Amino acid sequence: MSDIIQLLPDHVANQIAAGEVVQRPASVVKELLENAIDAGATEIKLLIKDAGKTLVQVIDNGKGMSTTDARLSFERHATSKIRTAEDLFNLSTKGFRGEALASIAAIAHVEVKTKQSDQELGTHIKIEGSTIQNQDVVSTPTGTSIAVKNLFFNIPARRNFLKSNSVELRHIKDEFYRVALTHPSIAFDFYNNDSEILNLKNSNLRQRIVAVFGKKINEKLVPIQEHTDIVSINGFVSKPEFAKKKRGEQFFFVNNRFIKNGYLHHAVLNAFNQLIPSGHHPSYFLYLDVPPNTIDINIHPTKTEIKFDNEQALYAILRSTIKHSLGQYNVAPVLDFNRDDTLDVPYSFKDKSSVSTPKIKVNPSFNPFENEAKNTSFQKPKTAQWESLYTETDTDFKPKQPEIQPDVFTHQLFDNSESEFKSKTLQIHKKYILSVIKSGVVYINQNLAHQRILYEELLTKMTLEDTSSQQLLFPLTLAFNKEDITLLKEIQPDLESVGFQFAAIKNDTIVLDGIPVNVKQNNLQGLFEELFEDIKNEIPDSSFSQLDTIAKSLAKSLAIKNGTKLDNKEQEEILEKLFSCKEPNQSPFGRKTFITLSSEEIQLKFDN
């Protein structure tokens, strides 16, 4: 047989490598921002158009590149960060593998302008699909500007898989926030379609968090600080009363690199044990510094996963540090052995070595009833008054023997009220509704069934008809981060169609003066947080799917929870409304709303 293995052309190999490095425009943003930081920039500007599909440009004031380096930077495995394999285990920079720029250049039009401080003129390079089209000298400021245009221009199938602009923009913001939170000393500017999104000045860590997530978050933060030989921990966690139902604002950074680690996340949750309700999650911004030779960051293409040498020790230190900090700030009770005794209430006898026992004087002849006894004449009590109470007593009274009735055994095994037997339904364990049907019985999950009912009602209101609102006596103000406020503005018309009325929407707060009839005022904060998280996770592609996601999220939040006691009327209402739905057999999320047991199946249980 003839040989069938052959070497791939460079442009094909680069496109394959690009598939691992560049999944979407946010991947390009991450790589370019990290390169600017590695270049020592103190000011970085990010410009995007059409959510990065048309343009992603990063301009920095770093040290720049020479002409040779500028050209070599687009070759595969060309890097200034490592020389030997051992260097992989002692990294302190962001990029190191030398694949990012080569991969980006393989699937986009790239234009680079760069100049070092000791040069009068810089270098200008244009690349299309890994091929250098032009290279010349140019007058440009010190630093580097890289513009990536028309992403996936030569791979239409990959471009078609990109999501809507709003979704891709959210992914870009996520990457931008991770980099900006890691380097508060660097100033960042972020523009989308020539409109400023964020302008972050040089600041400290707390100021950077507030600048990104809004002023309201400042009051929620508890500082965390610990230094050991294994790890140094700095950052903030939120106070327990501000825990959310959904994950969000949770960041781990190791050696100034954003990571995801379920084991360390569990350590944080463990520190909040019994301080937050079940199912709630605290926010945290935690920065861990460990020796570079104790971690391996080259185990994942996006470098968001890290392998630690001593995870168990890190877990214990992180957990105890957070618990201690929560106690120090009077969030949780704690034994404080470094208490400042100057805050104690002064006590004048605390320094005296002995205290004399007080003397007690007793008057043995004291009688508190002495005067009362002198003024009272003791006479024989008259019996007429109390004897008259018994004048009608029958002296020949004989108690009757009780009649003993024979035991009567009935066929009723359980003491059920008559009204319960007349009801069409029966609630079981405050979770299921049981109803008899011709062929047997049906068990309905009250939570999932109510989700289906609300979901179809909400979709009808949002697409076909208007709904009424209940006006609030006093407008209600809710606080969210800037990302959620931006998302709220996108879905505002849909929320208004189901009954929400917005008096104002500001940078980090919203003011409501009307809410849907079936929404409780004290549940609004959690309801909106769940809604925002669901929309982010669903990643809708069109306006219809976004409507669908909103309806699903609201139905899930507003549905009757398992554990809620329902009276007969409420049980029957759920039964009737469920089987009036278009798709009664499934919840909005595809779970069964009810199961049926035929008479034959029930009989088999007794026969086996």
> How long, in residues, is the chain?
608
pLDDT at 578 over 60: yes
pLDDT given for residue 3 in this prediction: 73
Distances (CA, A) of 123 to 31, 104, 466: 21, 19, 61
Tell me: the pLDDT tens digits for 436-480?
887 888 899 999 999 999 888 888 877 766 667 788 888 888 888
Domain identity same for 262 and 122: no
List of long-range contacts for 532-538, beta carbons under 8 Å, 24+ apart: 532/246, 532/248, 532/480, 532/484, 532/487, 532/488, 533/246, 533/247, 533/248, 534/246, 535/487, 535/491, 536/170, 536/487
Cβ neighbors of 284 (< 8 A, separation 6 or more) are 235, 236, 237, 238, 249, 250, 251, 252, 268
Q: Look at residue 393 and tell me if it is in a domain.
A: no
For residue 538, name the pLDDT band (cuts at 50, 70, 90): low
pLDDT at 78 over 80: no
For residue 355, being part of any structural domain is answered with no
Residue 519 sits in a domain of what CATH number? Answer: 3.30.1370.100
Nearest to 235 by CA among 191, 198, 284: 284
d(C-alpha 302, C-alpha 30), whole Å: 10
- E strands, 506-558, in order: 509-516
Nearest to 442 by CA among 429, 432, 455: 432
Contact indicator for 427, 566 with CB cutoff of 8 Å: yes
pLDDT given at position 521: 80
Most confident by average pLDDT, 80-84, 368-372, 397-401, 558-562: 558-562
Q: Is the pLDDT of residue 416 over 50?
A: no
- The CATH number linked to 59 is 3.30.565.10
Q: Is residue 5 included in any domain, yes or no?
A: no
364 located within any domain: no
Domain shared by 437 and 584, yes or no = yes
Residue 68 inside a domain? The answer is: yes
User: Distance between CA atoms of 109 and 129, rounded to whole angstroms?
Assistant: 7
Domain residues for 258? 210-328
pLDDT digits (tens, 9 = 90+) for 198-254: 899 999 999 999 999 888 888 889 999 999 988 999 999 999 888 887 777 899 999
Residue 185 banded pLDDT, cuts 50, 70, 90: very high
- CA–CA distance, 465 with 462 (Å, rounded to integer): 7
* Residue 199, pLDDT score: 92
Given a cut of 90, whether residue 311 has pLDDT beyond it is no
The mean per-residue pLDDT over the stretch 600-605 comes to 84
Distance from C-alpha of 249 to C-alpha of 246, rounded to nearest angstrom = 10
Residue with tokens 């999501």: 163
* 95 vs 452 pLDDT, higher one: 452
Q: Are residues 100 and 215 in the same domain?
A: no
Asked if pLDDT for residue 148 goes beyond 60, the answer is: yes
Cβ 474 vs Cβ 443: under 8 Å:
no
Confidence of residue 159 (pLDDT cuts 50, 70, 90): confident
The one-letter amino acid code at 147 reads: A
pLDDT confidence of residue 387:
54
**Per-residue pLDDT at 493:** 85
The answer, yes or no, to whether residue 404 has pLDDT greater than 80, is no
**Whole-number pLDDT of residue 232:** 93
Of 304, 328, 352, which closes a domain? 328
Gap between the Cα atoms of 603 and 112, Å rounded? 78
d(CA 275, CA 48): 42
pLDDT band with cut points at 50, 70 and 90 for residue 125? very high
- pLDDT band at residue 532 using 50, 70 and 90 as cut-offs: confident
Same domain, 185 and 217: no
Res 17: pLDDT: 62
DSSP reduced 3-state for 596 = strand
- The residues, ordered by sequence, that sit 6+ positions from 94 with a Cβ below 8 Å of its Cβ are 34, 35, 37, 38, 257
Q: How far is CA 171 from CA 51, 199, 509, 539, 546, in A?
A: 9, 18, 23, 10, 17
**Are 175 and 241 part of one and the same domain?**
no
406 — pLDDT class (breaks 50, 70, 90): very low
- Of the given ranges (93-102, 169-178, 259-268), which has the lowest mean pLDDT? 93-102
Per-residue pLDDT at 516 exceeds 50? yes
Q: Is the Cβ–Cβ distance between 326 and 332 less than 8 Å? A: yes
Q: Are residues 186 and 265 in the same domain?
A: no
Q: Which candidate, 552, 526, 541, places its Cα nearest to that of 170? A: 541
**pLDDT score of 382:** 52
pLDDT bin (cut points 50, 70, 90) of residue 604 is confident
Work out the average pLDDT over 123-142.
Answer: 91
63 burial level (CB within 10 Å; 0-12, 13-18, 19+) = middle
Structural domain contains residue 154: yes
Choosing from 180, 200, 220, the residue where a domain stops is 200
Q: How confident is the model at residue 141 (pLDDT cuts 50, 70, 90)?
A: very high
Residue listed under structure tokens 């933060």: 221
Q: CA-CA distance, 250 to 95, in Å (whole number)? A: 23
- Single out the residue in 328, 359, 388 at which a domain terminates: 328
Kindly report which listed range (54-68, 266-280, 353-367, 567-581) carries the lowest average pLDDT score: 353-367
Tell me which residue of 218, 207, 215, 295 sits closest to 252, measured CA to CA. 295
Summary mean pLDDT of the chain: 80
**Which CATH number does the domain housing residue 265 bear?**
3.30.230.10
312's tokens: 């168990």
Q: For residue 198, give the nearest of 175, 164, 223, 166 by alpha carbon.
A: 175
Do residue 303 and residue 445 come from a single domain? no
Using pLDDT thresholds of 50, 70 and 90, give the confidence band for residue 345: very low
Instruction: Judge whether 372 lies within some domain.
Output: no
Do 30 and 168 belong together in one domain?
A: yes
The reported pLDDT for the residue numbered 156 is 85
- What confidence tier does 81 reach under pLDDT thresholds 50, 70, 90? low
Same structural domain, 130 and 263: no
Residue 584 and residue 594: Cα distance in Å, rounded?
9
- Whether residue 215 sits in one domain with residue 193: no
Structural domain total, the chain: 3
Residue 420 covered by a domain: no
Same domain, 225 and 314: yes
With b for 16 or more beta-carbon neighbours within 10 A and e for fewer, the 91-128 pattern comes to bebbbbbbbbbbbbbbbbbbbbbbbbeeeeebbbbebb
Over 90: is that where the pLDDT of 82 sits? no
195, 214: one domain: no
Q: Is the pLDDT of residue 542 over 70?
A: no
- The per-residue pLDDT for 370 is 66
For the segment 59-66, the average pLDDT, to the nearest whole number, is: 92
Grade residue 307 by pLDDT with cuts at 50, 70 and 90: confident
Report whether 271 contacts 191 (CB < 8 A). no
Distance CA(239)–CA(489), nearest Å, equals: 28
> What is the phi/psi pair of residue 563, to 5°?
105, -5
H or E, element range at 310? none
Residue 399 confidence (pLDDT): 53
Nearest residue to 189 via CA among 61, 97, 87: 61
Residues 140 and 112: their CA atoms lie apart, in Å, by 11
Average pLDDT over residues 273-290: 88
Residue 349, pLDDT above cutoff 60: no
Rg (the chain; Cα; Å): 37
